């Protein structure tokens, strides 16, 4: 049976609230996800939270009842609480009625099966959680296998990144690696590394991309380091007809991902 918590001083509330900070997420190996739709979609992909907090006034909602049932059946804990506690956990003035606490995923690079999809996305030193979340959503939309985070990237399990992913965090495989490790892994099997760069004359629609295609996007401010770009099988750029000299990293990734997807759709 769900237990009730309404005290801010409750030890579990303090513990879960700490997951908003990276240090505590690393210690606990858990992260927060918010919203009935996201938690329901996560359940449909086999991801069940360890804890579920829900507002008392949503207890009779069919999907909430189903989430509570599944969490308890899997040995997790359901906690009925109020919106003030949910606000404390999420940090939002208008919090969702349901918050899930999940175990962090295994992000080891060798867990990736590159043959599982024909498109993969690789982000190098990405710092903005909104961009990371948007790229995860793009990956989900084009049927990509997942996202490889290279070097020092924003934490994919931060509250901001999880929010921005709108649930795509649960559909995309996520891996983290340093550049030499990633490069060694990539060259150990099939895969074309395509970098997005301004330092090339090759239009992004000109090549025929080989599967699996690994789309590499660099840091939002600096782009790809020159030695990283030199390791790419192909460098491409998108035409810039206005005064801006580059696209937002997440936007550029989406444009490239859909170009690769459209080529796959028209094969044969």
Residue 13: pLDDT above 90? yes
The residue whose two tokens read 């996007």 is: 217
Distance CA 80, CA 68 (A): 10
Instruction: Give the chain's mean pLDDT.
Output: 94
Q: β-strands 98-103, 51-55: how paired?
A: antiparallel
> Between the ranges 86-100, 127-141, 234-248, where is the mean pLDDT highest?
127-141
CB 28 within 8 A of CB 50: no
pLDDT at residue 102, as a whole number: 98
User: pLDDT tens digits, residue range 144-158?
Assistant: 999 999 999 999 999
How many C-beta atoms surround the C-beta of residue 26 within 10 A? Answer: 12
For residue 117, pLDDT over 90 is answered with: yes
Domains (range + CATH), the chain: 3-103 (3.30.1330.30), 109-266 (3.40.1280.10)
- The pLDDT of residue 2 is 80
pLDDT at residue 38, as a whole number: 93
Mean pLDDT of 222-230: 94
> What pLDDT shows up at residue 34?
94
Q: Which region, left, alpha or beta, applies to residue 195 given φ > 0 means left and ψ of -120 to 50 means alpha?
A: beta
| Tens of pLDDT, residues 167-208 | 999 999 999 999 999 999 999 999 999 999 989 999 999 999
Residue 15 pLDDT > 60, yes or no? yes
Predicted confidence at residue 129, as pLDDT, reads 96
Q: Give the per-residue pLDDT at 67.
A: 96
pLDDT > 90? residue 259:
yes
pLDDT at 246: 74
245 pLDDT band (50/70/90 cuts)?
A: confident
**Percentage of residues of the chain with pLDDT beyond 70:** 99
Residue 268 has pLDDT above 70, yes or no: no
Percent of the chain with pLDDT over 90: 84
The answer to whether 117 touches 144, Cβ cutoff 8 Å, is yes
Confidence at 92, pLDDT banded by 50, 70, 90: confident
100 pLDDT higher than 90: yes
Contact 48, 74 (CB under 8 A): yes
Please spell the DSSP secondary structure of 84-116, one letter per residue.
Answer: HHHHHHH--SS--SEEEEEEPP---GGG--GGG
Residue 116: the pLDDT is 96
DSSP 197-225: -SS---BTTSS-PPSSEEEEE-BTTTBS-
Q: Hey, which bits of the chain come out as E strands?
A: 3-4, 30-34, 51-55, 77-81, 98-103, 119-124, 146-150, 173-177, 192-196, 213-217, 234-236
pTM as predicted: 0.92
């Amino acid at each position: 049976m769900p237990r009730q918590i309404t005290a801010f001083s409750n030890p579990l509330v303090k513990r879960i609230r700490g997951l908003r900070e990276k240090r505590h997420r690393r210690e606990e190996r858990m992260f927060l996800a918010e919203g009935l739709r996201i938690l329901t979609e996560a359940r449909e992909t086999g991801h069940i939270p360890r804890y579920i907090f829900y507002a008392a006034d949503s207890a009779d909602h069919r999907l909430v009842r189903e989430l509570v049932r599944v969490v308890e059946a899997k040995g997790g804990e359901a906690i009925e609480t109020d919106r003030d506690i949910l606000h404390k956990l999420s940090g939002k003035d208008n919090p969702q009625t349901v918050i899930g606490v999940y175990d962090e995923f295994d992000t080891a690079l060798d867990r990736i099966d590159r043959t599982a999809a024909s498109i993969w996305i690789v982000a190098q030193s990405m710092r903005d959680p909104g961009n990371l979340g948007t790229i995860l959503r793009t990956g989900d939309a084009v049927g990509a296998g997942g996202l490889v985070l290279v070097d020092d990237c924003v934490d994919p399990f931060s509250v901001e990144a999880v929010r921005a992913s709108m649930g795509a965090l649960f559909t995309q495989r996520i891996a983290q690696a340093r550049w030499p490790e990633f490069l060694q892994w990539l060259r150990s099997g099939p895969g074309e590394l395509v970098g997005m760069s301004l330092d090339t004359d090759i239009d992004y629609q000109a090549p025929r991309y080989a599967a699996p295609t690994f789309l590499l996007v660099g840091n939002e401010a600096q782009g790809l380091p020159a030695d990283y770009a030199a390791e790419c099988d192909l460098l491409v750029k998108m035409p810039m007809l206005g005064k801006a000299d580059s696209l937002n990293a997440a936007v550029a990734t989406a444009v490239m991902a859909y170009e690769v997807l459209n080529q796959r759709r028209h094969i044969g």
